[in-house]
Amino acid sequence: MWLGIETSSLVSSVALMDESCLIGELTIQAGLTHSEQLVPHIDMLLRASQVKKSELKGIMVSIGPGSFTGLRIGMGTAKAMAYALQIPLYGVMTMDSLARNVAYTD
């Protein structure tokens, strides 16, 4: 199970995936409140998906380009979680993740 965190813009997204499919996703226009809402959103997603933190194999986080403050909050949260859970942390370029979705649109 992998946790994805995207905080490069006003929209905040967290998602859970296994090796083959999306398990759950929460996307909210958080405005300038990533620092207040990110951790509760992660907790809400894990509970709604019935996934324990101990089941996570790694965390992926957007690394930009984007809002400096939003990225800093996302990366800080991801790094703290990865350290506490002793799992790998991977940075993903925001534009690369957007480009990968183009293959799934008509």
**For residue 98, what pLDDT band results from cuts at 50, 70 and 90?**
low
Q: Which of 11-20, 71-80, 91-100 has the highest mean pLDDT?
A: 71-80
Class of the CATH domain delimited by 2-102: alpha beta
pLDDT band at 99 (very low <50, low <70, confident <90, very high): low
Q: What is the value of pTM for the model shown? A: 0.88
* The pair of three-digit structure tokens given for residue 42, joined into one six-digit string: 């992660």
Residue 80 token pair: 């703290």
- Give the torsion through C-alpha atoms of 30, 61, 2, 26, to 10 deg: 10
> % helix / strand / coil in the chain, to the nearest 5?
40, 25, 30
User: In the prediction, which pLDDT does 31 show?
Assistant: 61
Give the domain ranges of the chain. 2-102
Q: What value does the mean pLDDT take over residues 65-94?
A: 94
